[in-house]
Amino acid sequence: MSIVIIGGNDRMVRKYRDICTEYNHEAKIYTQPKCNLECQIGCPDLIVLFTHPVSHEMVRIAKKKAARDDIAIVQSHCGSCNALRCILDEAGKNQASGA
């Protein structure tokens, strides 16, 4: 499963990547605004949006991209490792059930 994480803390990027690797997911992580972010997101299976530590512009871009390309998006106010694990656990359950 390919995942794009938008937001979160800069110091947590390595941990986010390690957690995604534990779940056998490929991850792109954007904690800071990037030029042409919408194109860099690509077409992942899931967008994880950590809404507290992220710019409003990045939130707008992620939601627009998810709606336009029919990509699942999960929002969490907290950008912790535990929050990411819970999101990935739930996504795995949904994928297994075919939802």
* pLDDT tens, residue by residue, 72-99: 999 999 999 999 999 999 998 877 776 5
Global pTM reads: 0.92
Helix H, strand E, coil C: the string for the chain is CEEEEEECCHHHHHHHHHHHHHCCCEEEEECCCCCCHHHHHCCCCEEEEECCCCCHHHHHHHHHHHHHHCCEEEEECCCCHHHHHHHHHHHHHHHHHCC
CATH of 1-68, one of 3.40.50.620, 3.40.50.2000, 3.40.50.300, 3.40.50.720: 3.40.50.720
pLDDT of 99: 59
- Residues 24-52: tens digit of each pLDDT: 999 999 999 888 999 999 999 999 999 88
